[in-house]
């Protein structure tokens, strides 16, 4: 079984799980295209079920596992999550958004403060 994203005008509208042969007889007349996505791909890397990086990176598809609301960039062949904040920039290698200030490296919990461009501790 594989995961497929329905992409219409660059946006992911639906995700299904199906065998590749399903599309040989599947009659979908709605606009858009079905594009395979990898459930265990994040930031351009494929991970095993336990969260460790896979030794077989050929399974990494389209930078990130697609979700409804993601965009699909044809030129990058990548699924990209929605931009979380105006100040964040897209990493063109991972196709993930990065904040302008590094996340604190301790074990604390933080929320991004867009107005102050800082991480606020969550108490």
Cβ atoms of 63 and 94 within 8 Å: the answer is yes
Could you report the per-residue pLDDT of 1-26, keeping only the tens digit for each? 899 999 999 999 999 999 888 877 88
Total domains in the fold of the chain: 2
How far is 82 from 70, CA to CA, in rounded Å?
6
- Supply 70's token pair: 């993601």
Give the structural domain span for 120. Answer: 83-123
- Supply 97's token pair: 């958004």
Residues 69 and 27 in one domain: yes
pTM beyond 0.85? yes
Residues 102 and 115 in one domain: yes
Distances (CA, A) of 47 to 13, 56, 122: 25, 9, 29
Could you report the per-residue pLDDT of 69-84, keeping only the tens digit for each? 999 999 999 999 999 9
Q: What is the mean pLDDT of residues 111-117?
A: 97
Q: What is the mean pLDDT of residues 24-33?
A: 88
Q: What percent of the chain is predicted at pLDDT more than 70?
A: 100
Residues 59 and 111 in one domain: no
């Amino acid at each position: 079984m594989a995961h497929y994203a329905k992409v219409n005008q660059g946006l992911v509208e639906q995700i299904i799980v199906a065998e590749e042969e399903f599309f040989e007889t599947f009659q979908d007349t709605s606009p858009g295209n079905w594009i395979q996505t990898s459930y265990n791909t994040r930031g351009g890397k494929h991970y095993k079920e336990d969260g460790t990086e896979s030794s077989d990176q050929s399974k990494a598809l389209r930078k990130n596992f697609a979700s409804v609301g993601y965009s699909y960039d044809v030129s990058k062949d990548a699924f990209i999550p929605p931009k979380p904040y105006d100040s964040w920039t897209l990493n063109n290698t991972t196709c993930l958004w990065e904040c302008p200030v590094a996340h604190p490296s301790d074990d604390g919990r933080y929320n991004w403060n867009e107005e102050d461009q800082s991480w606020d501790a969550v108490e």
